[in-house]
Structure 1
């Protein structure tokens, strides 16, 4: 019999630290936040990705007095002055929990913190080895910040006691880790215009350093937003328009861009320098910008935005998780008002010819949700979606279907005997049922012939920023899996092959580009898996790029029997028989019900 026991303290501390700092980007972000809290304006970081991972962070902050340095690294000890919850209202720092350095001490072979304050001509050091405080305080002479004050944190053997994490990092390319670090630091770079930061990657084998990130002090807040965007995502920030707005005690600095190369990974909202994850604001901006696109007859919206709000903060916004993000904004009405003001300015800047009807934004009312097309998803236990009645049908029940006749050249009327609820009279939507049959045949043919699905096309050439080029390089195999092949040349992608279903769909170059970029974004964000399972064709559907799914559904819709088409008995029986073999017989290719119950017999 198993015995419930308390985890060893060293194990629990390592696990807890890994929740806070599970990637190299998280570690560097935590160090930079500490430096910013200390008033730093210049930060230098070096990273060594060898068998032993080492990181060194130097800053010109106000330093740590010797009397306080010996307490650094103790859990829940902090210099931020937060003794009770009420103190959070006036908090001006990123940290206040006293967790970052303590967590680092538990997952590093050695952690060395050296610091010097302006009032002293000496520097002091405290050291942790294997999570144990071995040197509480000692004077040192190797202080190398090159400033009259500041702090140096040296980490040796990061993740030494987490072998799975080390294996993951060793199997990750330097390019991916560099991009991970950039993304982790983007919120800090974008919202701190006075910050100058340099990050170098040390390559021991060749004894040289490679620059990962170099950010200089900005001229203005909106200049920092666009330059930071350029550095992280390639030269795209310069094409974005800076916009400002204010209301009561809140202010918004932002940049907006409408461009086919933008996608969902290029959208950020900050509040008091903290990343906001509240989907209400993201959905509001996305919905309003999509409406602007719709007014210009653009089918697939592609846009980016970075919005930085500043104003009073609520304690609840600072205690929503270890990542220091804001999942739920307290003053949602005020930020909604400011957001709508910004959207109005976007309309003026980007669509000057549009007769934009200015809304009554002071009502703080959000527009109702639009009807969304449901994606193809298996129904639970193959149960039909008859939400308006107590009738529930399974796929097996379709074996008892008997044809009654055709009604109004729209519906095929049938009877069906259920296992527990008797006989039911059903109306099958002839278009929806035939669309379902054709969609599954198209998907099955495409998936079962992936190795031969690619056809040569007349070359399509796109000039893309560095970050997007990196995504093409990283996920080249995933794209080729679905029949999308290309040649990479400097900052240019040359598309040479496409799956035959896309050529049949006759997508425009703009739609094709937007669809591929969305798929790459989904892969990067983990919304799509790079490799399909490869067992049954139906299990592969969730892995297919949305662009291809939409085209197949469209082809099925266009070729399916239309309303108003008169069908003879043989044609009706054929549709019914084909529907019985479908994986999702109760819904059309777009997710709408394919049949409705009329009455019980």
Structure 2
């Protein structure tokens, strides 16, 4: 049995470093918080190679007296608390006294510091926890902390670091959050000798929101201000129009500390629930001032979590504050009509030339004209509209359905309708309708010699559509298209069953399968956009876009830097042109940050294909019979046509037996 021994101090420090120092961002967090606790009004953070080789944090705070410098690098040495009772009234960002010891144990550290009362400064070097030198040096007031070659003495941990770009993005995100949590401090962030962020420290939170998130978010903010005895909330929340697909934009700070809390998140999302679609999350930038005795911040070494003494009080305060800010506000998004005129496509080399809109205004005008003719011919049994003119997409060849849905049948729709009309006219006993319905066109079946009294009783059974039934090519000629119901559902009679097809769900499925096939075979085309779509991305979004830019380029996007945090989208896949707006692109990038995402191009292709479904014809849009037939042909040719990409059914059916039971023809 192994003997129990006391670990040496070096091993203890490295174990502690595993809890405190996970990556370069952890080092920056501890040093930047120390600078703010030292009452600095200006802090500069500089990193190189994502912080793996070089981190420098410079502040104009109090500084450290020479005799206390070595003590600062001992474990559990701190100036922020004295006794255990102080833990319940902690007002500083850091208090454990583990940060400097942990950082020094896994990197090469140099500290230069000077107090306001000191004549000279102090330079202190410590490598891997071992002191190298302590000397006097000329220095300005404040502290400069340099950490080089992080994890140089623990190569096993260094292997777990990500690429410099990813680590740099984590540092940038952290610096932005601390800048937002302390608008009274001027913070500058330099990455690889380039200025990435610089706040003025003028106490104006909205200015920092503009700097970090851009003009679009800053111009869609609502102010929140609630003051109670134990809790006060100040800050801004976003209008629902700037909602995102994840919680990355839910930011809230408690006593200047950036934290995550399920209580606060739930209160915010419940308040937004009546104003926002499902699976959308709001933008919030809220500062909480809570009495320290109501909090327990000594929960986790990273101090990202805390506990509330009265969670219900916090929940109700947050819910009421957010609900009150949203109530009685004009939340209708502003529509820029001129943008529709300006964003005309500039066509690049491509295989197809789809129209920007799936259904043209000419078709609507033609339908209105047909309705006028219908009134004039109300006395006729078979008005002219039963023999529709050739649809516009067949004449022009530029409708969306023309590009996506290719009819397999070479027969003329006009001839089919004429034969149908003639067969009905030949049947005796036809009744005239004084006001033919424009909502549902019903084509009576030809007399097959069956009498209504001789009804063959059927037993209900589950129809197997794959067993020589609806999907057989020879069965397609026996489908009887009855008409369109509520401008959304198409009714088809076949083999003793009534099939009801949701045109939107069906078109979504067709577009999804078509897009997936196109992406996998690389048979795509690009279409230029003028003027380009401008995206404003944060650091994490920039990294995600850069990492996956090849996949976006492979499917037809043309994206390039536009200066600062801006990116210009100059080209989009041709099949996405009508829906490739800023919201779509942001939603796609947000989706890449979801937990569990793998670097598999098929995952991105599935996301793009899902987005292409937004181009599907909507419910309430009237289609012609020719268009419906083409849609049905393509739907039934799919391997699984029964559910749209979102899981909703595309086809439901009802048997003749069930209908006759409803009409009491069968008891």
Deviation at 1:27, TM superposition (A): 1.5
Structure 1, 429-438 or 234-243: larger mean CA deviation: 429-438
Q: Describe the SS at the equivalent of 2:149.
A: strand
Q: Describe the SS at the equivalent of 1:44.
A: strand
Q: Which residue of 2 aligns with 1:100?
A: 99
Q: 1:478 aligns with which of 551, 556, 562?
A: 551
Q: Which residue of 1 aligns with 2:113?
A: 115
Deviation at 1:12, TM superposition (A): 6.9
Q: 1:462 aligns with which of 533, 536, 555?
A: 533
Report if aligned partners of 2:526, 2:556 keep a CA contact under 8 Å in 1: no
Deviation at 1:329, TM superposition (A): 4.4
Report if aligned partners of 2:91, 2:292 keep a CA contact under 8 Å in 1: no
Q: Which residue of 2 aligns with 1:519?
A: 588
Query: Aligned pair in 2 of structure 1 residues 495, 112: CA closer, same or farther (>3 Å)?
Result: closer
Query: Aligned pair in 2 of structure 1 residues 129, 470: CA closer, same or farther (>3 Å)?
Result: closer
Q: 1:274 aligns with which of 234, 238, 257?
A: 257
Q: Which residue of 2 aligns with 1:42?
A: 42
Q: Tell me if 1:196 matches 2:186.
A: yes
Residue by residue over 1:397-441, the C-alpha shift from the partner in whole angstroms, topping out at 9 and shown as x without a partner, is xxxxxxx9646xxx6599xxxxxxxxxxxxxx9989999999888
Q: Which residue of 1 aligns with 2:136?
A: 140
Misfit runs of 4+, over 6 Å: 2-9, 167-170, 429-442, 553-558, 592-595
Q: 1:331 aligns with which of 302, 310, 315?
A: 310
Q: Tell me if 1:346 matches 2:419.
A: no
Residue by residue over 1:77-134, the C-alpha shift from the partner in whole angstroms, topping out at 9 and shown as x without a partner, is 22221532x42221111111112111111110x2123333333324334432222234
Q: Tell me if 1:172 matches 2:183.
A: no
Query: Aligned pair in 2 of structure 1 residues 290, 442: CA closer, same or farther (>3 Å)?
Result: same
Deviation at 1:326, TM superposition (A): 2.5
Deviation at 1:306, TM superposition (A): 0.7
Report if aligned partners of 1:242, 1:256 keep a CA contact under 8 Å in 2: yes
Counterpart mapping for 1:209-248 below 5 A: 209-218=193-202, 220=203, 223-224=204-205, 226-236=206-216, 238-239=218-219, 240-248=221-229
Residue by residue over 1:439-469, the C-alpha shift from the partner in whole angstroms, topping out at 9 and shown as x without a partner, is 8887666445424253334626323336467
Report if aligned partners of 1:275, 1:326 keep a CA contact under 8 Å in 2: no
Counterpart mapping for 1:249-264 below 5 A: 249-258=230-239, 263=244, 264=246
Report if aligned partners of 1:63, 1:116 keep a CA contact under 8 Å in 2: yes
Deviation at 1:520, TM superposition (A): 0.9
Give the TM-score taking structure 2 as reference length.
0.59
CA–CA separation in structure 2 for the residues paired with 1:436 and 1:236: 33
Q: Which residue of 2 aligns with 1:183?
A: 173
Counterpart mapping for 1:577-592 below 5 A: 590=646
CA–CA separation in structure 1 for the residues paired with 2:556 and 2:236: 36
Cα root mean square deviation, aligned: 4.7
CA–CA separation in structure 2 for the residues paired with 1:111 and 1:591: 56
Q: Which residue of 2 aligns with 1:131?
A: 129
Q: Which residue of 1 aligns with 2:522?
A: 452
Q: Describe the SS at the equivalent of 2:299.
A: coil
Query: Aligned pair in 2 of structure 1 residues 130, 177: CA closer, same or farther (>3 Å)?
Result: closer
CA–CA separation in structure 2 for the residues paired with 1:181 and 1:50: 8
CA–CA separation in structure 2 for the residues paired with 1:129 and 1:155: 10
Q: Which residue of 1 aligns with 2:569?
A: 494
Structure 2 alignment gaps of length 5 or more: 334-457, 466-497, 620-631, 653-667
Report if aligned partners of 1:245, 1:342 keep a CA contact under 8 Å in 2: no
Deviation at 1:476, TM superposition (A): 1.7
Report if aligned partners of 1:63, 1:151 keep a CA contact under 8 Å in 2: yes
Query: Aligned pair in 2 of structure 1 residues 337, 51: CA closer, same or farther (>3 Å)?
Result: closer
Query: Aligned pair in 2 of structure 1 residues 228, 7: CA closer, same or farther (>3 Å)?
Result: farther
CA–CA separation in structure 2 for the residues paired with 1:351 and 1:433: 32
CA–CA separation in structure 2 for the residues paired with 1:117 and 1:184: 27
Report if aligned partners of 1:290, 1:301 keep a CA contact under 8 Å in 2: no
Residue by residue over 1:316-367, the C-alpha shift from the partner in whole angstroms, topping out at 9 and shown as x without a partner, is 64123222112654433333333222332233344399xxxxxxxxxxxxxx
Report if aligned partners of 1:454, 1:497 keep a CA contact under 8 Å in 2: no
Query: Aligned pair in 2 of structure 1 residues 556, 590: CA closer, same or farther (>3 Å)?
Result: farther
CA–CA separation in structure 2 for the residues paired with 1:267 and 1:456: 35
Q: Which residue of 2 aligns with 1:426?
A: none
Give the TM-score taking structure 1 as reference length.
0.64
Q: Which residue of 1 aligns with 2:284?
A: 305
Structure 1 alignment gaps of length 5 or more: 203-208, 354-403, 415-428, 533-539, 559-570, 596-601
Q: Describe the SS at the equivalent of 1:348.
A: coil
Query: Aligned pair in 2 of structure 1 residues 318, 77: CA closer, same or farther (>3 Å)?
Result: same
CA–CA separation in structure 1 for the residues paired with 2:4 and 2:525: 60
Q: Which residue of 2 aligns with 1:73?
A: 73
Which structure has the larger Rg over C-alpha atoms?
2
Q: Describe the SS at the equivalent of 2:252.
A: strand
CA–CA separation in structure 1 for the residues paired with 2:51 and 2:42: 29
Counterpart mapping for 1:82-97 below 5 A: 82-84=82-84, 86-97=85-96
Deviation at 1:34, TM superposition (A): 0.9
Q: Which residue of 2 aligns with 1:152?
A: 144
Q: Which residue of 2 aligns with 1:285?
A: 268
CA–CA separation in structure 2 for the residues paired with 1:232 and 1:177: 18
Report if aligned partners of 1:256, 1:305 keep a CA contact under 8 Å in 2: yes
Report if aligned partners of 1:405, 1:413 keep a CA contact under 8 Å in 2: no
Query: Aligned pair in 2 of structure 1 residues 98, 430: CA closer, same or farther (>3 Å)?
Result: farther
CA–CA separation in structure 2 for the residues paired with 1:120 and 1:250: 40
CA–CA separation in structure 2 for the residues paired with 1:446 and 1:477: 18
Equivalent pairs, count: 469
Deviation at 1:184, TM superposition (A): 0.4
Structure 1, 429-438 or 39-48: larger mean CA deviation: 429-438
CA–CA separation in structure 2 for the residues paired with 1:351 and 1:318: 37
CA–CA separation in structure 1 for the residues paired with 2:236 and 2:526: 40
Q: Describe the SS at the equivalent of 1:57.
A: strand
